[in-house]
């Protein structure tokens, strides 16, 4: 069926999100589709081989970046043989390999079974530059074989050499054949993929969100995938199972940092309940049979699922109904109907075969739970002073002028109880108008803004949830867990080899060695600690300056992309919860919280 992207079941956004960095950002700030070493291509070099009329058409459509947009490229040597299998040589290397008097070479005899540090198998094809040298070790010669060390610098984290977009590849990607067909030059194509696009002020590239518009920290977790999957017949509880998993027909998988094409081949870390290498689907165009559907994961961002948990607890009597969630997905697939969520227009604008990264829609991929710019607003709103009270006014007192004292403002004669009764059902806009029209409404108590937060910002569950602490899988870094998985597997293999050696060579100490053998130590995860430092905290009614919190959010709303996304996803999960309630025979909830 070709390539298609599987979106998050809850928020509707693709997991395959790219980011295009600016000149001043490090290489790690560019990424794509969950791959740590991915980046957006510098440009489409294949267009160089099209005729002038076709090239002019691209320019007329205004979709191409150029020198006028300030964009450029950098050349990035790929690791290993992932993109361009070339040796890493430097300008001062001699034309014919290593000099005979080079003190850094190491002799390797022809009978040495160990592989050369850089052998001919690592080189394939022509050089990148005229000065690069590939040592041909496959020639028949009586000369001893040599290896060499690269003493040049590591790949830079920050680039200083930027290439114009007009830079030519130097090789033809397509070679015409006599029969009218074309043959791809794989080496030239791989070389073209080693150029990275660098966004300028007027960048038009929609293959990734622009670095100047959203930070790496804000996008954290946009690639992370977790699934719900049906329990196997031999399923047994684990210590890390959540309560709703134990009571359900389904359970959570581990996490992964990328969504493969068409949802096939998801590999998780850790492997929970033996589930790994599965398929995941969320769209109704997926047309499976019931048996296949039972083994198909329901995919989501863990942060989106955290919002589903919070909404479920609030509107479903503290119950997280994952059976109902999967049932709705299954019904949509089997009956070929839409999943019962209407996403906003920005989500619809991004949905194509490959996700469209539209400028101005960056908030769609901002982490809705761990929001860097929200933390200082919360810290400023929480008070530890003994004199603080939510019955106090958040504003400084001002002496009344003679004109005000003599005015005929009828509200000035009313007691505070009547004033509060007047505004108890008013929204923030109307209250602001009342404060401008009468000084009787100047010094309203801080508690008034608590009501406004609850009513106008219902997705701010820190203000009402009994437990805003995110579930564990929303706090992890998928990439770190996969690295841990690989390291732990290697450590286990090494231990098994040591056990066999000791059992064979020193059987008398085997039992004692097993008793005192080294234990696996889980590494520290500084990136996860950064996430935990941004965790939502419960806001106490009596210790929070609700006016300060409300104002901090509304004034800085454009910068709070994570909260913008939370508001959007909250609306989506409320629709899901409503559909689950309807499926269970209950009525749909009221949107306004009752405190």
Task: Express each pLDDT in 348-368 by its tens digit.
Answer: 999 998 999 999 999 999 999
Kindly state whether residues 281 and 169 are assigned to the same domain. Answer: no
- 3-state SS string for 451-483: HHHHHHCCCCHHHCCCCCCCCHHHCCCHHHHHH
Q: What is the mean pLDDT of residues 187-196?
A: 91
Rg (the chain; Cα; Å): 31
Q: What is the pLDDT of residue 57?
A: 56
- Single out the residue in 365, 380, 414 at which a domain terminates: 365
Confidence grade of residue 87 (pLDDT, cut at 50, 70, 90): very low
Segment among 118-132, 143-157, 163-177, 254-268 with least mean pLDDT: 118-132
Neighbour count for residue 19 (Cβ, 10 Å) = 26
Q: Are 243 and 210 in contact (CB under 8 A)?
A: no
Kindly state whether residues 197 and 271 are assigned to the same domain. Answer: no
Q: H or E segment at 309? A: helix 302-315
SS3 state of residue 297:
strand
∠ Cα 9 14 19 (to 5°): 150
pLDDT in tens, 446-501: 989 899 999 999 999 999 999 999 999 999 998 888 787 777 778 778 888 888 88
Q: What is the pLDDT of residue 54?
A: 56
Whether residue 142 is predicted with pLDDT greater than 60 in this model: the reply is: no
- 3-state SS string for 191-253: HHCCEEEECCCCCCCCCCEECCCCCCCCCCCCCCEEEEEECCCCCCCCCCCCHHHHCCCEEEE
Whether residue 403 is predicted with pLDDT greater than 50 in this model: the reply is: yes
Q: How far apart are CA 104 and CA 492, in angstroms?
A: 35
Task: Establish if 407 belongs to a structural domain.
Answer: no
Neighbour count for residue 448 (Cβ, 10 Å) = 22
- Single out the residue in 503, 524, 545 at which a domain terminates: 524
∠ Cα 234 235 237 (to 5°): 140
Kindly state whether residues 494 and 355 are assigned to the same domain. Answer: no
Q: What is the pLDDT of residue 256?
A: 94
Q: Are 255 and 473 in contact (CB under 8 A)?
A: yes
Q: Are 69 and 197 in contact (CB under 8 A)?
A: no
- 3-state SS string for 352-381: CCCCCCCCCCHHHHCCCCCCHHHHHHHHHH
Q: Give one DSSP letter per residue of 36-101, joined into a string.
A: TT---BS--GGGGGS-HHHHHHHHHTT----GGGT-EEEE-PPSTTSS-------TTS-TTSS-TT
Task: Establish if 532 belongs to a structural domain.
Answer: no
Q: What is the mean pLDDT of residues 155-164?
A: 87
Task: Establish if 501 belongs to a structural domain.
Answer: yes
Q: What is the pLDDT of residue 66?
A: 87
Kindly state whether residues 192 and 310 are assigned to the same domain. Answer: no
Kindly state whether residues 176 and 285 are assigned to the same domain. Answer: no
Whether residue 232 is predicted with pLDDT greater than 90 in this model: the reply is: yes
**Domain enclosing residue 311, as ranges:** 225-365
Q: What is the pLDDT of residue 500?
A: 83
Q: What is the pLDDT of residue 545?
A: 96
Nearest CA to 37 out of 27, 46, 47 is that of 27
User: How does strand 296-300 pair with strand 279-280?
Assistant: parallel
Q: How many domains does the chain have?
A: 3
Task: Establish if 548 belongs to a structural domain.
Answer: no
Half-sphere exposure of 33 (CA within 13 A, CB side): 16
More confident residue, 231 or 100: 231
Kindly state whether residues 356 and 488 are assigned to the same domain. Answer: no
> Which residue has tokens 């994961």?
297
Confidence grade of residue 328 (pLDDT, cut at 50, 70, 90): very high
Q: What is the pLDDT of residue 594?
A: 36
DSSP state of 2: -
More confident residue, 310 or 412: 310
DSSP state of 180: S
Confidence grade of residue 20 (pLDDT, cut at 50, 70, 90): very high
Kindly state whether residues 33 and 182 are assigned to the same domain. Answer: yes
Segment among 87-101, 171-185, 220-234, 420-434 with least mean pLDDT: 87-101
Q: H or E segment at 349? A: helix 345-350
Whether residue 67 is predicted with pLDDT greater than 70 in this model: the reply is: yes
Q: What is the mean pLDDT of residues 572-580?
A: 97
The residues with which 266 forms a beta bridge, in sequence order, are 278
The residues with which 297 forms a beta bridge, in sequence order, are 280
Kindly state whether residues 186 and 326 are assigned to the same domain. Answer: no
Task: Establish if 594 belongs to a structural domain.
Answer: no
Nearest CA to 93 out of 127, 140, 59, 139 is that of 127
Q: What is the mean pLDDT of residues 2-16?
A: 91
More confident residue, 373 or 524: 373
Kindly state whether residues 32 and 166 are assigned to the same domain. Answer: yes
Q: What is the pLDDT of residue 515?
A: 78
Kindly state whether residues 273 and 335 are assigned to the same domain. Answer: yes
Kindly state whether residues 231 and 315 are assigned to the same domain. Answer: yes
Q: What is the pLDDT of residue 568?
A: 98
Task: Establish if 483 belongs to a structural domain.
Answer: yes
Whether residue 205 is predicted with pLDDT greater than 50 in this model: the reply is: yes
Q: Are 326 and 228 in contact (CB under 8 A)?
A: yes
146 — phi, psi (to 5°)?
-125, 160
Nearest CA to 563 out of 379, 376, 363, 347 is that of 363
Kindly state whether residues 343 and 245 are assigned to the same domain. Answer: yes
């Amino acid at each position: 069926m070709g390539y298609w992207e599987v979106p998050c079941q809850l928020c509707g956004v693709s997991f395959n999100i790219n980011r295009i960095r600016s000149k001043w950002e490090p290489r790690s700030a560019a990424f794509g589709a969950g791959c740590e070493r991915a980046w957006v291509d510098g440009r489409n070099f294949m267009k160089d081989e099209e005729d002038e009329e076709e090239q002019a058409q691209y320019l007329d459509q205004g979709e191409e970046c150029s020198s006028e947009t300030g964009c450029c490229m950098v050349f990035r040597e790929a690791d290993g043989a992932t993109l361009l299998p070339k040796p890493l040589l430097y300008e001062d290397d001699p034309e014919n390999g290593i000099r005979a008097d080079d003190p850094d070479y190491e002799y390797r005899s022809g009978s040495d079974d160990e592989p050369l540090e850089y052998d001919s198998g690592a080189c394939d094809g022509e050089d990148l530059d005229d000065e690069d040298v590939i040592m041909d070790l496959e020639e028949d010669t009586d000369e001893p074989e040599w290896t060499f060390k690269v003493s040049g610098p590591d790949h830079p984290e920050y680039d200083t050499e930027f290439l114009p977009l007009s830079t030519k590849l130097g090789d033809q990607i397509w070679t015409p054949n006599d029969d009218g067909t074309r043959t791809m030059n794989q080496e030239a194509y791989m070389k073209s993929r080693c150029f990275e696009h660098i966004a300028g002020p007027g960048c038009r590239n929609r293959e990734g969100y622009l670095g100047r518009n959203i930070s790496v920290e804000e996008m954290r977790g946009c690639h992370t995938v977790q699934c719900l999957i049906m329990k196997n017949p031999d399923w047994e509880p684990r210590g890390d199972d959540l309560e709703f998993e134990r009571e359900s027909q389904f359970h959570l998988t581990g996490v992964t940092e990328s969504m493969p094409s068409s949802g096939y081949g998801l590999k998780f870390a850790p492997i929970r309940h033996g589930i790994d290498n599965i398929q995941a689907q969320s769209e109704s165009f997926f047309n499976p049979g019931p048996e296949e559907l039972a083994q198909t994961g329901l995919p989501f961002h863990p942060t989106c699922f955290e919002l589903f948990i919070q909404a479920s607890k609030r509107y479903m009597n503290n119950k997280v109904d994952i059976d109902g969630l999967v049932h709705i997905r299954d019904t949509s697939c089997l009956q070929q109907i839409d999943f019962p969520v209407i996403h906003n227009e920005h989500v619809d604008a991004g949905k194509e075969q490959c996700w469209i990264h539209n400028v101005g829609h960056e908030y769609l991929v901002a982490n809705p739970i761990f929001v860097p710019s929200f933390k200082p607003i919360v810290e400023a709103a929480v008070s530890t002073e003994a004199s603080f009270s939510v019955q106090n006014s958040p504003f400084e007192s001002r002496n009344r002028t003679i004109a005000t004292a003599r005015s005929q403002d009828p509200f000035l004669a009313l007691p505070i109880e009547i004033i509060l009764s007047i505004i108890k059902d008013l929204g923030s806009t109307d209250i602001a108008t009342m404060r401008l029209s009468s000084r009787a409404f100047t010094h309203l108590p801080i508690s008034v803004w608590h009501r406004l937060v609850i009513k106008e910002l219902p997705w701010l569950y820190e203000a009402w949830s009994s437990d805003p602490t995110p579930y564990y899988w929303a706090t992890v870094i998928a990439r770190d867990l996969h690295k841990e998985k690989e390291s732990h597997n290697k450590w286990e293999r090494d231990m098994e080899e040591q056990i066999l050696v000791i059992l064979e060579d020193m059987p008398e100490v085997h039992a004692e060695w097993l008793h005192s053998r080294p234990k696996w130590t889980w590494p520290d995860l500084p990136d996860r600690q950064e996430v935990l430092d941004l965790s939502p905290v419960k806001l106490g009614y009596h210790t929070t300056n609700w006016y300060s919190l409300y104002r901090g959010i509304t004034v800085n709303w454009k910068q709070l992309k994570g909260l913008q996304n939370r508001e959007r996803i909250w609306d989506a999960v409320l629709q899901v919860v409503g559909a689950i309630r309807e499926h269970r025979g209950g009525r749909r909830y009221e949107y306004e919280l009752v405190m």
